[in-house]
Amino acid sequence: MFKIRKKKSLAVAIAMVLSVSVLLTGCSSNQPAAPAKEMKTSFNAGAEPKTLDPALSTGVPESHIQTALFEGLTRIGEGEKVMPGIAESWTTSADGTVVTFKLRDAKWSNGDAITAEDFKYSWLRALSPALASEYSYQLYYIKGAEAYNSDKGTADAVGIKVVDPKTLEVTLAAPTPYFVALTAFHTLYPVNKKNVDANEKWSLTAETFIANGPFKMKEWKHNDQVIVVKNENYWDAKNVKLSEITFRLIEDNKAALTAFESGELDATENIPTEDIERLKTAKVLKIDPYIGTYYYRFNVTKKPFDDVKVRKALTMAIDRKLIVEKVTKGGQQPAYAFTPPGMVDVEAGKDFRKVGGDFFKEDVAAAKALLAEAGFPEGKNWPADVTILYNTSSNHKLIAEAIQNMWKTNLGIDVKLRNEEWAVYLESQKTLNYNISRAGWIGDYADAMTFMDMFVTGGGNNQTGWSNAEYDKQIKEIANKSGDQKVRVPAMHAAEKALMTDMPILPIYFYTNPWVIKDKVKGTYRSSLGPIDYKLATVE
């Protein structure tokens, strides 16, 4: 109430001043209008993107920038609501297998019209075996998509039909309740065919970058910053108030926070753990929900991680409560399974994680016994070259050091640490050039399948070398072929059990999102899936 009154009093005072001003200066209409205020802001994306091509990108740093530059058929809004994007409406057939999207009149940043053909081209491009997109499986819900991506079918057999320039008909392999929401995900963003065909490196420079979102690229100074400006050709440009966003590419968390506190940055995330308490006390820190899991991958193609006893021993011999309370300090929850809280189970109101429960517990004595059975009693004979890989970050380093110490203390084994810059680290995981690797997975949509379909045999984001016939069956043959929650959810629970029995991964904690943003920046939106959306933001 006080703030409303204060604003009202200020408005009255301003009106009185203006009235006096008019009396003194006359009512001339020849005075030039005051220029519109330019609204600019900045955000630290956190790392140099490996690529901003929607079909090829895989990381969170890229997703922040792409959310500004692109828009899919839908867009995620407040409360995780699926909002119209390039599609102004859609209908689903009675059996749930055909979704028809009606596109609005929209343009690319270069003025070209966006058509249904753009989406068909872009989706088939992401599925193309030659492109080798790690995220191509996000399109497998479409009839014939997996066969085409696996070189066992043709593009013509994929269920994507252009009815007319403004109508796209998608035939699904099975009812998929979350498919419409998935069209807001970056792999399903459209790209400009003419531009892509003309230049295979189109996505690496501002001069050749064509987008369709609220903003367009002005500058990409590699390893420094990406600057985007308002896209005057965006269909909803009238509601975009920001004139410019600078996405800084500062990989050092401490340097990014220093830039924020000195006024060089308006927002940053991945807060250094040593600053968490100080920022909490100062009431500067925001901690948002984040549907994600922080975990380690095991390369099961390398000894000794081809032995499930070793993997289980390492998993049981760390203290997760100590890690989240003394190291990360951001309200994270210890993880004793892979899929985090936040996804619905069979019954509305029931949480998938709560129903599924925990799959293991910490037990140093049992871990030592398993390691002895595997041939490493009290850590003897343990290989000297075992290394934990993590992407360069003080936070990841602190967690790795804590786990390194726990394994030394509890199991008598030594492991080394190895950090790599973002793009190199991504490639090392993809090529299995590691023993143990830090990883994090943020949901792509609000359904447990966004976690459960990762580890199918040969999956682009599996990156462990692990394969399990029962897991594949539960995901590919049961869960992905039914739209019935009573069928698909139990199958996902069974798949998670298979995953946690074989333990190709080591869950550590369920994420939260500690970050900071200046009070002057209003109207940003962050879903629990992660990317920051500046479409409706303003700067006071």
3-state secondary structure of 32: coil
For domain 287-513, give the CATH number: 3.10.105.10
Contact 276, 398 (CB under 8 A): no
Q: What is the pLDDT of residue 28?
A: 40
- Up-side HSE of residue 1: CA atoms within 13 Å toward CB? 0
- Report the length, in residues, of the chain: 540
- Up-side HSE of residue 477: CA atoms within 13 Å toward CB? 9
* Nearest to 206, CA basis, from 109, 131, 75, 126: 109
pLDDT in tens, 17-53: 333 333 333 334 445 444 557 899 999 999 899 899 9
pLDDT in tens, 385-414: 999 999 999 999 999 999 999 999 999 999
Does residue 7 carry a pLDDT above 60? Answer: no
pLDDT in tens, 483-530: 899 999 999 999 999 999 999 999 999 999 999 999 999 999 998 888
Tell me which DSSP letter residue 400 carries: H
Distance from C-alpha of 381 to C-alpha of 375, rounded to nearest angstrom: 7
Q: What is the pLDDT of residue 282?
A: 95
* Nearest to 360, CA basis, from 297, 422, 316, 397: 316
pLDDT in tens, 288-318: 999 999 999 999 999 999 999 999 999 999 9
Does residue 11 carry a pLDDT above 70? Answer: no
pLDDT in tens, 438-477: 999 999 888 999 999 999 999 999 999 999 999 999 999 9
Residue with tokens 């410019």: 244
Confidence of residue 60 (pLDDT cuts 50, 70, 90): confident
- Report the 10 Å Cβ neighbour count for 128: 16
User: What percent of the chain has pLDDT above 70?
Assistant: 93
Task: Tell how far CA 514 is from the center of its chain.
Answer: 15
3-state secondary structure of 80: helix
What architecture (CATH level 2) is domain 40-247+518-539?
Alpha-Beta Complex (3.90)
Structural domain boundaries of the chain? 40-247+518-539, 287-513
pLDDT in tens, 96-125: 999 999 999 999 999 999 999 999 999 999
148's tokens? 């085409």
Distance from C-alpha of 533 to C-alpha of 60, rounded to nearest angstrom: 13
pLDDT in tens, 230-268: 999 999 999 999 999 999 999 999 999 999 999 999 999
Tell me which DSSP letter residue 142 carries: B
Q: What is the pLDDT of residue 21?
A: 37
Contact 431, 301 (CB under 8 A): no
Residue type for position 174 = A
285's tokens? 């820190």
pLDDT in tens, 169-186: 999 999 998 999 999 999
Q: What is the pLDDT of residue 78?
A: 84
Distance from C-alpha of 463 to C-alpha of 429, rounded to nearest angstrom: 6
Q: What is the pLDDT of residue 36?
A: 59
Q: Left, alpha or beta for 329 (phi > 0: left; psi -120 to 50: alpha)?
A: left
Angle, vertex CA 222, rays to CA 218 and CA 228, nearest 5: 20
10's tokens? 């200020």
pLDDT in tens, 182-223: 999 999 999 999 999 999 999 999 999 999 999 999 999 999
For 114, 160, 162, 510, the CA distances from 117, given in Å and listed in that order, are 8, 10, 6, 40
537's tokens? 């933001």
Contact 69, 217 (CB under 8 A): yes
Tell me which DSSP letter residue 79 carries: G
β-partners of residue 92 are 99
